[in-house]
Structure 1
Amino acid sequence: MLTDLDATFAALADPTRRAILARLATGEATVTELAVPFAMSQPAVSKHLRVLERAGLVSRGRDAQRRPCRLEAGPLREATAWLAAYRDHWAERYQRLDALLDELCSTEEGRDGAGGTAR
Structure 2
Amino acid sequence: MDILPSFRQLFAVVVLFGAIHGSSESEGKELVITVPSGKVARRVDDDLNLTCKVASDERFHITWVIPQDKVRQAHRVKIESEHFNEKSVTIYNLEEPDTGWYTCVARHHDSNVNRVFNRTVYVTVS
Q: Tell me if both proteins adopt one fold, taking TM over 0.5 as the criterion.
A: no
Q: Could you state the TM-score of these two structures normalised by the residue count of structure 1?
A: 0.24
Which structure has the greater CA radius of gyration? Answer: 1
> TM-score w.r.t. structure 2 length?
0.23
Q: Higher strand share goes to which structure?
A: 2
